[in-house]
A and B are shown apart, each in its own frame.
Chain A
Amino acid sequence: MTVILNEGDSAGTTGAASGSPVDAAPDPGKAMTRGRLVLIRFARNKLALVGLAIIVGMYLMAFVGPLLSKWTYDQQDYSAFLEPPYADHIFGTDKIGTDMFALTMRGLQKSLIIGLLVALISTTVAAIVGAAAGYFLGVADKTLMWVVDLLLVLPSFLIIAILSPWFRGKSWFLLVLMLAAFQWMITARIVRGMTLTLKEREFVKAAKFMGQPARKIIAKHIVPNMASLLIIDATINVGSAVLAETGLSYFGFGVQSPDVSLGTLIGGNAESATTFPWLFLFPAGFLVVFVLAVNWVGDGLRDALDPTSTRVRRKEKKNTKEKAA
C-alpha cells in the first residue's frame, strides 16, 4: 500500500518537474516554491492576465469612476433627454435626463459587490458542507446528495423568482444570501469526492490518531489541501453570480428599486434598444466584458494551479515535442 502510494507520488513530482522545463530554470539562486510556480504559470497565460487587469480595472472604475464624473445618478440634466453619447455625457442620457455613465457605474457597483459576496459565501459553504459530508458520511452525506439532486431538478432561478415577492422592499443583502444558498451544491459535491480520497491519506490518519477533533482535521488538513479547487471555484462563481443576479433583476425578481444593478438597467432598457442603443449597449457591454474576464482568469487559474488539467499537460507535451524535434 505505502509502496504504491510512494511510487505514485514520486512519479507525480518528477512528471511535473520534467513536464515544465521552462519553470525549473529561471532563477537557480532561489528555491522554487509552489506559490512562485503558480504565479509564473499564471503570468505565462496572456488572456488570464488581460482578464485580471479588466476585473481590477472594473472594480476600481465602479467605485472611483462616479467621483470623477460631474454628474451623479440622482441628478437630472433638463437640457439633455435621450441624448446619444457626446462630450458632456460620455454614455448619453436616458429619458428623464439622467447621465448614463453615472447610472451604469452605480449598477456596476451593485452587481460586482453582489457577485463577490455570493462567491465568497457559497464557496465557504461548499467547502464546509462538502468536507463534512465526505468526512462523516452517513446520514449527513445522504441528505446532502439528495438535496443536490433535487436542486438540479428545481432550478435556482425558479425558486428565487418564486420567493421574490417576499424580499421585495427589503435589503439587497437578502438576495445575496438567496443566490449563495443556491450556488454551493455542485462544488460541495466535488469537495465531498476529494475529501473521500484525502481522508485515507497518511497525514489525515496521523492527525486523527494523534487525537485531533474532526472539526480541526477538516479545517487544518482537508480544506487547505483543496485550496486550488476552491480558489478556481470562487473565481468562476463571481461570474455566475453576476449572471444569475442580472438575469433575475432583468425580470424585476432580483435587485429592487431604489437599488440599481446592471440587470435592472439592461432589463429596463432592452425594449428601447433598437431606437436608443446607448441605453442598452453600455450596461450590457460592461456585463459581458466582466464575465468574459472572469472566465479567462478562471481558466488561467485552473491551468496554473492544477498541473494535471488537460490544457497545460497538452501544451507542455507539445512544447517538449517541439524541443525534441
Chain B
Amino acid sequence: MAGFLLRRLVNYVVLALVATFLAFTLASATFDPIGVLQQRNPPPPAASIEAKKRDLHLDQPIPQRFVTWMGGVVQGDFGRTITDRPITDELGRRIGVSLRLFLLGITIGILFGVLLGVVSAIRQYKFSDYFATLFSFILLSTPVFVLGTLLKMGAQGINDSIGSNVLIFVGETTPGFQGNWFEHLGDRLQHLVIPTLAIALGQIAYYSRYQRSSMLDVLGSDFLRTAQAKGLTRRKALFKHGLRTALIPMATLFAFGFGLLVVGGTFTERIFGWFGMGDWLVTGISAQDTNITATVTLFVAVCVLFSGWLADVLYAALDPRIRVN
C-alpha cells in the first residue's frame, strides 16, 4: 500500500518537473522581453540592453536557463521578474489569495453538488430532478467569465435595491480599511461571497451530474436491497451503503476538478480583481515574463498532481479492492 502510493508520488513529481520544463521552454522560446525595451522612445543605450539581457540570462541556451532557475527554486528562490522584483516575495501572498478562493469554492461545490446529485437520483424523473438537470445543463454551458459578469450585474442590482454596498465584487479587501479584527473579517466576507458563488455554482452543476448517474447505478444494485432486507431503514441503507459506494468513482473527479479549477480560477480572479496566481499568469504572459509564467505553471502542476495523488489515497481508502492489488 505504502509502496503503491510512493510509486504514484514519484510518477507525479516527474510529471510536474516535465510540465514545468515544457512551460519554461515554450515561454523562453516565444517571449521577447527585450522587444518591449527596444521599442521605448527614446531608445535605451545598447549597453543597458546588453545588461538587461545578461540579467535575464538571455545569453544562455534555454536548458541552461532552466537549470539555473530550477536550482534557485530548490533553494526557495523563484528568480526575479522582468522589472527586477523577487518573485518569492509576492508568491506566498498570491498563493494565499488563490487557495482561499478555490478551497472555499470547491468545498461548497462538492458538498452541494453531491447533495443535489443524490437527491436527483433518489427522486428520479420527479420535478426536482428535471429542475436540477436543467439548472446544471445551463450552468455547464455558461463559461465562468459570463457567469462571473452576470453575478456582478446581479450583485449590483441587489446593492441598488437595498441602497447600500453589501456585496462587494472588486478586490479581496477594501483598501485602507480601518477597524477591529471582527470588522476586518466582515469586510473580507463581503468580498468573498460573489467570487465564491461564481466558482461554486459551476462546480455544483458539474459534480451533481456525475453524482446522479453514479448514484443511479448504485440504486439498482443488489447489496442495497439486501441492506434493506436485513432491517436497515431506507435512509440508512442509502447513506451508509449507497452513497459510500457511489462516492468511489467521484474521488478521481474531485481531484481533477480541483486541477481544472486552478486554471479556471484565472477568469474568476481577473473578473473580480483578486491578485492571485491566475491573475499573475495573465500578467506574466502579457509582460512576456518567463519566470512568472514558469512559477505559476509549477504551482498549477503541483496542485493538479497533489490532488491526483490525493485521489489515489482516497480511492485506496474507499475501495478495498485497490488495496489488495
| Residues of chain A whose beta carbon lies under 8 Å from any beta carbon of chain B | 149-150, 152-155, 157-159, 161-166, 239, 243, 246-247, 250-253, 266-267, 270, 273-274, 277, 280, 284, 287-289, 291-292, 294-296, 310, 314, 318
Contacts and interface: CB of A to CB of B under 8 A. Distances in A.
A150 B153 CA distance: 38
Contacts of A164: 285
B166 to A, nearest CB: 15
Contacts of A253: 285
A interface, over-half SS: helix
Contact of A267 (B138, B145, B153): B145
Given A153-B305, A155-B300, A266-B145, A162 B23 contact: yes
B149 A280 contact: yes
Given A246-B143, A288-B142, A150 B288 contact: no
Nearest to B288: A165
A273 B213 contact: no
Contacts of A166: 30
Given A274-B153, A284-B149, A150 B281 contact: no
Contacts of B50: none
Interface in B144-180: 145-146, 149-150, 152-153, 156
B6 interface: no
A162 B293 contact: yes
A250 B282 CA distance: 11
B216 interface: yes
B146 A284 contact: yes
Contacts of B140: 295
Contact of A310 (B146, B150, B217, B286): B217
Interface stretch (B74-82, B190-198, B241-249, B263-271): B263-271
Given A153-B301, A165-B288, A310-B217, A158 B149 contact: no
B216 A310 contact: yes
A246 to B, nearest CB: 6
Interface string B260-300: 10010011001100000000011001101000010001001
6 contacts: A153-B305, A158-B300, A162-B23, A266-B146, A291-B141, A295-B141
A153 B285 contact: no
Contacts of A291: 141-143
A153 B26 contact: no
A250 B30 contact: no
B112 interface: no
Interface in B16-31: 16, 18-19, 22-23, 26-27, 30-31
A95 B305 CA distance: 46
